[in-house]
Structures are given as C-alpha cells and as structure tokens.
Amino acid sequence: MSRKIFADLPAPGTQPADSASIPRRQAMRPLMAALDNEAQGGGPRSPVGALGQSLGEMSERTKRAEEIERLLSAGQTIVDLDVASIEPSFVPDRMQIDDEAFKTFVQSIKAEGQQVPILVRPHPEKPDKYQIAFGHRRWRAAKALERPIKAVVRILTDQELVIAQGQENNERQDLSYIEKALFARRLDRQFSRDVITSALAVYSSDLSNMLSVANRVPDDLIESVGPAHSVGRRSWMALANLLTEKPNVEKARKLSSEASFKELPSKERFEALLKGISEYSPTGSETVPVSHAGREIGRLSETKQRVTLTVDRKASPEFAAFVLSELPRLFELHLKQEG
C-alpha cells in the first residue's frame, strides 16, 4: 500500500519552486557518511599504491554519489536513519496511546523486521534532521526497540507532506474516525478545503461532518475517550449533538473522571459516555439522518414520550414540503399494515 503512495508523489522536476530552498545535500549526509566508511576499509598500502587507489576511490565515490543523488531525487533510495535524527510531522494524526495493539506491533517489528520504509523529508528548519510524512507508528516502534529505521528521503513541500500523510493513512485504514476528524481540524488551520479533501480522500460533506464533530466535542473529552477504533461517524455525531448542551458537557466530564471509566478500553469508554449522557439528557438522544451521498437531511431526537424530526427549511425547502405532503399518506399506509 505504501508503494502506491510513493508512486503518487510528484516526479522529479515537478516540484514547486519553494521546494528548491531545501538543500538536497542534507538528505545525502547519511549516505555520504556510509561511503566514507567504506573508503576507510582495507589494509596497509604503499604511498604510490595508496595514491592511485585513493584517486580511483574518489572517482568511484563521485560516480556512486551522483547515482545516489539521482535515486534520492526520485524518492527510490531506502536508507537507515537514526531515530533520534527524525521528528514527527508538523500536523499530528494519531492519539498517542500505548495500548496492547501497539505493543503487539512492536513485537512484530522486533521478530520480522521493518517491512515497509517510512517517508521523511529533510527538516525545513533543522540541519541534519528529518521530518516524517508517514510512518509514525513504525518510527515509535523503532524508538522503543532502539534500532535504526528504514526510510525513503524525499524533498516535499508542506502541502505535499500532508497529502502524502493523509493518503497513506487512508490506504492503511488504521486511523479511527475521531483521529481523522482531529487531523482534519489541524489541517483546516493551515490549508484550503481542497487540500484537506485530497489528503483525507473524502467528500466536502464528509469533511464538514468531521470538522463539526472535532469542533463540538471538547478536546479533554476526546482525550479521555481515546481513539475508539470502530466507532464511526454516526455515533460521534450523536455524541457531538448531545454535547451542545452545557449540562451534558458537565455530566460527561464527571463520568470520564471516574476510576471505573478510565479502566475501560477506548471503545467501551465512548459507549459508556454516550449511554450515560443519553440517559441523563432531558432531550434524549439526537441523531443526524443523512442521505446515501452523505448529506445531512435533518435531525432526529428521541425520548420515551416522543420522536421529533426537524428539517431545516432554509437548507432543504423542497424536502421539508415533501415530508409535510407525505405524512398523511404514510399514516394511512401504517393503518393499513396494522389492519
């Protein structure tokens, strides 16, 4: 999957003008050092022989350096980098949870080695440093194992980095919905909506829903719940709708502070929070029905006494009129089915 991401990156010579400000030699320093180490090998030599061999080595080293630079430009060279020389992306995309899944991942890397390289760029501000485009979990695993990490070094602009980062995450499908929503919100502070939809491979309506959830659910509650893998859009939107009321936010914070809540796995923490607020909320649970294209078509709230469908007449006047005209027919159909 990552091979596809590497293939989708811009080809050499198509980089935007501002990418030229990053010296390619920064990316080559580990490789040049490796060549230096090779050149220092071998036994004692005579002065004449040493001079001749040194000249030959310099010529060969130059050829190899040029080849390495060519391959590096194409993003095809895999190098071993010290994990200490690498920093994460300037836009975080994961919630840092040292759960059992990550521990299992570390053990897999330890037993089988790193199968897929990460993608980094020369750090735009720090010489001899790199910045991750994708591969944060592999980098964290390598740090935990105290071993070098295999990486492809590529010159990338900020925009190219976040697009590669988002697309690789979509390919691997191991980010949860709320992690993607938080990633979208961070991108929204610096990039256009076109860039964000490209990075996340979502429609603009999906992006709007993600930003709505990330902006309405307080950060401290998201952090207390964790990534909540397999909890999808509908559930997070239901929680976000409930948290528009201040009493519900206070109730949620009280629930999340309990010791029994903190001991639950992330998904179960989310479920406990949603259930606890739904039972507490005087307005009951509210959901957002959507069309097959992902468009919001109204709001549905339920209590023990009633079900209320709200349609925004300004946003969907035709649908509102259609619902009103169809209600009598639907009720007659219901009576026929009962009879």
Asked whether 205 and 293 are in contact (CB, 8 A), the reply is: yes
246-296 pLDDT, tens digit each: 889 999 999 999 999 989 989 999 999 998 888 765 554 556 665 544 466
For residue 165, the tally of other CB atoms under 10 A from its CB is: 26
In a domain, 336, yes or no: no
Q: What is the CATH number of the domain that holds 34?
A: 3.90.1530.10
- Residue 170 has what pLDDT? 64
Both 266 and 121 in one domain: the answer is no
| Banded model confidence at residue 34, pLDDT cuts 50, 70, 90 | very low
Asked whether 141 and 105 are in contact (CB, 8 A), the reply is: yes
Structure tokens at 331: 């009720």
Both 91 and 128 in one domain: the answer is yes
Average pLDDT, the chain: 76
In a domain, 58, yes or no: yes
Both 163 and 229 in one domain: the answer is no
86-118 pLDDT, tens digit each: 999 888 777 766 567 778 888 888 988 898 899
Both 245 and 108 in one domain: the answer is no
Both 58 and 157 in one domain: the answer is yes
pLDDT at residue 64 greater than cutoff 80: no
- Residue 55 has what pLDDT? 53
Give the pLDDT mean for 318-334: 86
- Residue finishing a domain among 169, 193, 220: 169
Both 266 and 312 in one domain: the answer is yes
Give the pLDDT mean for 199-222: 90
User: Rg (Cα) of the chain, in Å, rounded?
Assistant: 27
C-alpha distance from residue 134 to each of 192, 200, 234, 263 (Å): 21, 13, 28, 31
- Residue 99 has what pLDDT? 67
Q: In what order do the strands lie in the sheet with 118-122?
A: 78-81, 149-153, 118-122, 130-134, 86-87
In a domain, 333, yes or no: no
In a domain, 334, yes or no: no
What is d(CA 209, CA 197) in angstroms, rounded to the nearest whole number? 12
Both 164 and 184 in one domain: the answer is no
- Residue 75 has what pLDDT? 47
Both 165 and 245 in one domain: the answer is no
pLDDT at residue 35 greater than cutoff 50: no
Nearest to 161 by CA among 191, 116, 141, 128: 191
In a domain, 37, yes or no: yes
Task: Tell me which residue range forms the domain holding 17.
Answer: 2-169
- Residue 258 has what pLDDT? 93
Query: Which range, 68-72, 199-203, 268-272, 288-292, is most confident?
Result: 268-272
- Residue finishing a domain among 118, 146, 169: 169
